[in-house]
């Protein structure tokens, strides 16, 4: 059964794509391109693994599947790509990597990926996943989330799995003592899963009935765990060093408005899908924490100033007429107003 799907990250992709269209220095654009490529590559890898996992387990009542689970606990974070949980609380913690040109593991356990046939060292995803497991174990215990069966708290058994793209080249050490059996291509995971669970016959399950959750109990536990998901919020402007360079677009004819939701400066962006594809609009520079947008034609209205006190005006609705108008924000101290269909400056004085 599928409990949670991966968070949609199209908005982040669109935001980085919009940044690429702006007039940044070459080195800044290169940094944006790398970030965008990494985001797209990660998404593709997780989507590929999710496809195989969903196909094999979505109809199962004995296994619960959670995609994209981000846990925050005592100042630490675990970004878990996939969790596969059984009724006996066997928990596969699955890390996904997408290396188009392949990955190699040395006899000492060092990982490297290839780009233009050149090797580049990377942190071990096995070790990374071990940290995720450690945090998840402590989180479940500390928050008292582990289910009980016959008045006894069940003890989970964690399994560390690293999946890479089926099209990637995977080179493992031919000898040595380093165990990298948990690293495999995503289309081979089912074989590993069957090997791990080949001993779970009807008799063994019956004998372990005291530590086996009913399907409804498994679903409830997985749903509660998924509720603790904390979506990541990345300030790309700060991460890429674009805070100063990303000042709002200005021209003699038009100045970018402040965000009506959070007050930050807005940025000129371009719609990439839907009926407004290709049209420009104002998007908050605080994205993704603030997703407020303002249509270009509406942003001009935001520059209205009160004809009586030169203060800020806000859109209001007449109680009797039912028609919209601009009214002074300082009302009732100032009762200046402008009819929506009148030009700026021709309001009541």
Count helices and strands in the chain by DSSP H and E runs = 8, 18
Banded pLDDT at 232 (limits 50, 70, 90): confident
Q: Which two tokens stand for residue 144?
A: 């008292």
129-132, Cβ contacts within 8 angstroms, sequence gap of 24 or more:
129/93, 129/94, 129/95, 129/160, 129/161, 129/162, 130/160, 131/78, 132/78, 132/79, 132/80, 132/93, 132/95
β-sheet bridge partners, residue 83 = 66, 93
Q: How confident is the model at residue 202 (pLDDT cuts 50, 70, 90)?
A: very low
- Kindly state the DSSP code that residue 269 receives in the 8-state scheme: E
Give CA 234 to chain center in angstroms: 9
Where do the structural domains in the chain lie, given as residue ranges?
2-226, 249-300, 304-349
Check residue 5 and give its pLDDT. Answer: 94
Q: What is the pTM assigned to this prediction?
A: 0.69
d(CA 227, CA 232): 14
Cis peptide bond N-terminal to 332, omega within 30: yes
Residue 129 has pLDDT above 90, yes or no: yes
């Amino acid at each position: 059964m599928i409990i949670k799907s991966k968070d949609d990250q199209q908005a982040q992709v669109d935001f980085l794509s919009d940044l690429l269209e702006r007039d940044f220095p070459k080195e800044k654009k290169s940094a944006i391109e790398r970030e965008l490529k990494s985001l797209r590559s990660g998404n593709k890898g997780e989507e590929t693994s999710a496809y195989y996992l969903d196909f094999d387990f979505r109809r199962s009542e004995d296994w619960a599947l959670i995609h994209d689970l981000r846990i925050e606990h005592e100042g630490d974070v675990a970004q878990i790509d996939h969790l596969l949980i059984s009724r006996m609380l066997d928990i596969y913690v699955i890390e996904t990597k997408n290396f188009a040109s392949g990955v190699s593991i040395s006899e000492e356990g060092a990982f490297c990926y290839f780009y233009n046939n050149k090797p580049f060292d990377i942190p071990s995803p096995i070790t990374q996943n071990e940290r995720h497991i450690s945090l998840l174990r402590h989180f479940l215990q500390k928050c008292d989330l582990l289910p009980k069966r016959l008045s006894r708290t069940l003890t989970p058994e964690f399994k560390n799995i690293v999946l890479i793209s089926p099209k990637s080249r995977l080179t493992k050490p031919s000898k040595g003592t380093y165990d990298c059996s948990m690293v495999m291509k995503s289309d081979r995971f089912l074989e590993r899963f069957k090997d791990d669970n080949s001993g779970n016959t009807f008799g063994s399950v019956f004998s372990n009935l005291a530590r086996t959750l009913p399907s409804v109990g498994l679903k409830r536990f997985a749903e509660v765990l998924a509720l603790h998901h904390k979506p990541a919020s990345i300030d790309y402007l700060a991460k890429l060093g674009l805070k100063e360079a990303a000042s709002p677009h200005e021209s003699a004819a038009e100045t970018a408005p402040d965000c009506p939701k959070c007050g930050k400066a807005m940025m000129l962006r371009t719609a990439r899908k839907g009926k407004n594809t290709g049209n420009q609009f104002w998007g908050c520079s605080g994205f993704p924490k603030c997703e407020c947008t303002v249509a270009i034609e509406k942003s001009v209205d935001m520059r209205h100033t009160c004809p009586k006190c030169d203060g800020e005006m806000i859109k209001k609705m007449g109680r009797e007429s039912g028609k919209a108008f601009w009214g002074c924000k300082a009302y009732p101290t100032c009762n200046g107003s402008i009819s929506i269909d009148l030009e700026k400056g021709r309001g009541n004085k």
